[in-house]
Amino acid sequence: MTSFSNLNLNPKILAALEKKGYITPTPIQLQAIPSVLDGRDLLGIAQTGTGKTAAFSLPILHNLAKSGISVKSGCVRALILSPTRELASQISENIDAYSKDLNLRHAVIYGGVSDRAQITSLQRGVDILIATPGRLMDLASQGYIRFMQVEVLVLDEADRMLDMGFINDINKIIAKIPQKRQTLFFSATMPTAITTLSKSILTDPVRVEVTPQSTTVERIDQKVMFVEKRDKLALLRNILRQEDATSVIVFSKTKHGADDVEEFLDRNRISVAAIHGDKDQDQREKSLNRFREGKIKVLVATDVAARGIDIPAISHVINYDIPSDPESYVHRIGRTARAGRQGVAISFCDPHDDTLLLAVEKAINFKIPVDDSHAFASKSRAPAAKHVGEKSRAKPAVKFDEKKPPHKENHAAPKKKKVGILDLILNFFKGEKLSKKPEAKNPERKHPPRPEKRESNRERPRPKRNNKPIERTGGMKLSSGNKR
């Protein structure tokens, strides 16, 4: 079995790996490290949690230490772009651990915090800079970062960066760095936009694909629970009270939803913290550290943190809301079953979100088993299809009898007129027999003659008026028919 010692890495790096207990490289590390050591461009397709951070950081550290080039003030030798603050911090922590005994400087910059300390760390120049695209462009536009010494460019989680709208910043950064460089491109998925971008920046790359695109880790026990929206919080509380739920991440679709879940669990005396875009960086790091140290049991997060949490001991991932983007499902559940462990991924599905569930299953090419053993299963409007292997969760199409043509819903047969007591009485006095069927209209029946029209005022003879003038005082003559 191949070990890190067989990969011709710097002895100081090997010693750091041994301290962390890393002996055997993962498949992506085994395939990527030799190519990166040789200076080749790399296209890596791998899910989160496969060890790709070490796959690019270990050979970069080896090559930078080997060349011994001094970095100028404000310059960078290796630039690593990350979509989120959490992932940038995680990469920085790993590089710090691997380069303890190497004479290399590294820094991490991201938004959401003051840039004063970040500017100070850049003034002397750094060998490795880990950055989010937004903050990098901000400091570069102010003249604090110069790209003339960039030897290696790494795009980590490239598909996520495009989803977050960083494509323009990425293009501007690529335009500023030297064309003669080594480029390492990592993505969990390869949609058309990512394929186009990779072809434009990579030169004769080595392709490394350790798992098929959009597939999930086999060690994760996936299940879906159909539950009404009003019962989600109660179901979540029941799951968290189980003994095997030791360290749980709950993913919410919105910031407001994450706060509601945090408030509910806190009221039920379950140790919890929430991280999302409205939390400042200090709050997020504090919550992550408490969760990593086991001081809190549940971490509620939005997708902003889906790829930035690297905690091996997470037992459960719960999708409180099914994501609108099917690819996000893969990255969410990838927070569990890390470092060779087993994990559980549970998705709550409101019956109105069944379409989103079908999109997820199509993306991962796997029919997620339904768990209807929970207390709220009978209240939910779960589709009929429940088991893996069934073609669809949709209701089966209605089959009509071939002999009888189907009738249209909007053209139902006319209803029979109901006969009331009043009709019976009227018919009795009229001497008519009551027919079970309503009588057909008789087109020959004549209407009763209309009453004669009343004479109009114009046709009536008016009484004759006496137009003889009347004499009054003042000599005014008035007609008797006028009024004053």
The tens digit of pLDDT for each residue in 207-220 reads: 998 865 555 666 78
Residue whose C-alpha is closest to residue 223's, from 310, 302, 319, 299: 319
Residue whose C-alpha is closest to residue 155's, from 56, 27, 36: 56
Q: Do 180 and 38 fall within a single domain?
A: yes
Q: Tell me the pLDDT tens digit for each residue of 398-410.
A: 443 444 444 444 4
CA neighbours within 13 Å on the CB side: how many for 45? 17
Q: Of 355, 379, 403, which residue constitutes the final position of a domain?
A: 379
Query: Which burial class, exposed, middle or buried, applies to 369 when counting CB atoms under 10 A from its CB (0-12, 13-18, 19+)?
Result: middle
Q: Do 196 and 327 fall within a single domain?
A: no
Q: Is 236 helix (H, G, I), strand (E, B) or coil?
A: helix
Q: Do 168 and 226 fall within a single domain?
A: no
Q: Do 197 and 227 fall within a single domain?
A: no
Q: Do 185 and 225 fall within a single domain?
A: no
Residue 406 in any domain: the answer is: no
Q: Write the Ramachandran bin of 434: left for phi over 0, alpha for psi from -120 to 50, otherwise beta.
A: beta
Q: Which strands make up the sheet holding 316-319, listed edge to edge? A: 220-226, 343-349, 316-319, 248-251, 298-301, 272-275
Q: Which strands make up the sheet holding 42-45, listed edge to edge? A: 106-109, 126-131, 76-81, 152-155, 182-187, 42-45, 206-209
Contacts of 90 (CB under 8 A, 6+ apart): 53, 308, 309, 310
Write down the pLDDT at residue 465. 57
Q: Do 203 and 322 fall within a single domain?
A: no
Q: What is the CATH number of the domain that holds 364?
A: 3.40.50.300
Write down the pLDDT at residue 176. 94
CA angle centred on 250, ends 244 and 256, rounded to 5°: 150
Residue 480 in any domain: the answer is: no
Residue 397 in any domain: the answer is: no
- Domains contained in the chain, number: 2
Q: Are 33 and 62 in contact (CB under 8 A)?
A: no
Q: Is 17 helix (H, G, I), strand (E, B) or coil?
A: helix
Write down the pLDDT at residue 217. 62
Cα distance between residue 136 and residue 224, in whole Å:
40
Residue 53 in any domain: the answer is: yes
Query: Which burial class, exposed, middle or buried, applies to 250 when counting CB atoms under 10 A from its CB (0-12, 13-18, 19+)?
Result: buried
Residue 476 in any domain: the answer is: no
Cα distance between residue 1 and residue 401, in whole Å:
65
Residue 474 in any domain: the answer is: no
Residue 228 tokens read as: 């009404």
Write down the pLDDT at residue 135. 94
Q: Do 168 and 263 fall within a single domain?
A: no
Cα distance between residue 116 and residue 133, in whole Å:
18
Q: Do 102 and 124 fall within a single domain?
A: yes
Q: Of 334, 361, 379, which residue constitutes the final position of a domain?
A: 379
Amino acid at 201: I
Q: Is 370 helix (H, G, I), strand (E, B) or coil?
A: strand
Q: Are 300 and 274 in contact (CB under 8 A)?
A: yes
Q: Do 44 and 180 fall within a single domain?
A: yes
Residue whose C-alpha is closest to residue 286's, from 277, 278, 274: 274
Q: Of 150, 184, 209, which residue constitutes the final position of a domain?
A: 209
For 435-470, letters b (16+ CB in 10 Å) and e give: eeeeeeeeeeeeeeeeeeeeeeeeeeeeeeeeeeee
Q: Do 228 and 140 fall within a single domain?
A: no
Radius of gyration of the chain (CA): 39
Q: Are 184 and 37 in contact (CB under 8 A)?
A: no
Q: Which domain holds residue 154?
A: 4-209
Q: Do 236 and 344 fall within a single domain?
A: yes
Write down the pLDDT at residue 259. 94
Residue whose C-alpha is closest to residue 49's, from 347, 364, 346, 332: 332
Write down the pLDDT at residue 424. 66
Residue 276 in any domain: the answer is: yes
Instruction: Work out the angle between the directed axes of helices 326-333 and 354-364 (0-180°, nearest 10).
Output: 70
Amino acid at 352: H
Q: Do 193 and 294 fall within a single domain?
A: no
CA 410 to chain CA centroid, Å, is: 39
Residue 368 in any domain: the answer is: yes
Residue numbers of the chain with a pLDDT score lower than 50? 382-413, 432-437, 440, 443, 475-484
- pTM, two decimals, is 0.61
